[in-house]
């Protein structure tokens, strides 16, 4: 897959991340917040099961070789989805997305700076830090009512 296709697919992922909380919050009005999160993950799990059966190339049996912390992604995902379900009706989709983006960028900068999780180390330069600061200020302005 070339980088242009990957950029396009990630932009579509951004679209999905922006829409998902509002859809889940709407479902929560009918079934409840935690229940909406459960349904979201159940549908996602079934979708991924289908993808693994159709296109999977890995080996699920190797999960026994994973460290405990490598299995926390689902827990973090459940926290994220549930918190967006609770926050979107109260703060609005734009405010929630801007706060999430500020948190993601700040965390990503630290992950890159220290090369955490055995990934490539990318220094946090003053220019990058200033860009993150501006994005956080922007998120604060967007989140204000």
Which residue has tokens 């003053």?
126
What is residue 89's predicted lDDT score, i.e. its pLDDT? 95
Mean pLDDT of 129-142: 91
CA distances from 66 to 37, 75, 107, 131 (A): 26, 15, 23, 35
Which of 43-52, 100-109, 128-137: highest mean pLDDT? Answer: 43-52
Whether the pLDDT of residue 125 is over 90: the answer is yes
Whether the pLDDT of residue 120 is over 80: the answer is yes
Mean pLDDT of 116-120: 90
Distance from C-alpha of 91 to C-alpha of 144, rounded to nearest angstrom:
9
Q: Is the pTM of this model over 0.85?
A: no
Could you report the per-residue pLDDT of 42-84, keeping only the tens digit for each?
A: 999 999 999 999 999 999 999 999 999 999 999 999 999 999 9
Contacts of 116 (CB under 8 A, 6+ apart): 110
Mean pLDDT of 120-125: 94
Could you report the per-residue pLDDT of 5-53, keeping only the tens digit for each?
A: 999 999 999 899 999 999 999 999 999 999 999 999 999 999 999 999 9
Contact between 88 and 22 under an 8 Å Cβ cutoff? The reply is yes
**Maximum Cα–Cα distance for the chain, whole Å?**
49
What is residue 139's predicted lDDT score, i.e. its pLDDT? 87
What is residue 143's predicted lDDT score, i.e. its pLDDT? 84
Whether the pLDDT of residue 145 is over 80: the answer is no
């Amino acid at each position: 897959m070339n980088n242009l296709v990957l950029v396009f697919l990630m932009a579509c992922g951004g679209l999905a991340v922006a829409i998902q909380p509002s859809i889940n919050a709407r479902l929560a009005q009918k079934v409840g917040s935690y229940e909406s999160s459960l349904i979201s993950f159940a549908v996602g799990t079934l979708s991924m099961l289908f993808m693994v059966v159709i296109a999977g190339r890995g080996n699920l049996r190797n999960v026994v070789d994973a460290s405990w912390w490598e299995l926390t992604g689902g827990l973090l995902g459940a926290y994220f989805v549930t918190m967006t379900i609770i926050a979107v009706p109260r703060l609005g989709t734009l405010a929630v997305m801007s706060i999430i983006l500020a948190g993601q960028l700040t965390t990503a900068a630290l992950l890159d700076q220290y090369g955490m999780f055995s990934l490539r180390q990318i220094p946090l330069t003053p220019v990058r830090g200033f860009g993150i600061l501006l994005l956080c200020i922007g998120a604060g302005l967007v989140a204000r009512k």
